[in-house]
Amino acid sequence: MFELGFKFLKFSAVGLSGLAIDFCITFLAKEKLRLNKYFANSLGFVFAATSNYLLNKTWTFQDTNPYAVTQFSKYILIALIGLIINNLIIYLLVNKKEMSFYWAKLVAIGIVVLWNFIANYNFTFVAN
């Protein structure tokens, strides 16, 4: 149980770096490039997911699976499901609860991180 908790802490630390990447890319795409907010959100999410995969593979899970392409595909599938959940939460909070976009994004990330950890722990980075 301690090992699982420690992995979650590492996963969360990696997630913080992903959060910075996500928010920076989203901000640049939305505010500077004037792209659609959901497309900008998706770009930020994809860049963060890619960075997070690499860090989680090497640091969090210390994974040595040689089939990185297959593993990355699993990780991206989980991330895409997370992205759908993320955009749905943002949509509901912005359009139904009138929350600001960036606060809604922060709430969505907090919820999706749980999905991502559980799914990746049980599906992507399964012990060799």
pLDDT in tens, 49-105: 899 999 999 999 999 988 889 999 999 999 889 989 999 999 999 999 999 998 998
Burial-class residue 53 by CB neighbours within 10 Å (0-12, 13-18, 19+).
buried
pLDDT value, residue 127: 65
b/e code 88-97 from CB counts within 10 Å (16+ = b): ebbeebbeee
Please, are residues 14 and 52 in contact by the beta-carbon 8 Å criterion? yes
Indicate the SS3 state at residue 125: coil
Residue 21: the pLDDT is 96
Q: Is the pTM of this model over 0.85?
A: no
* DSSP summary character for residue 66: S
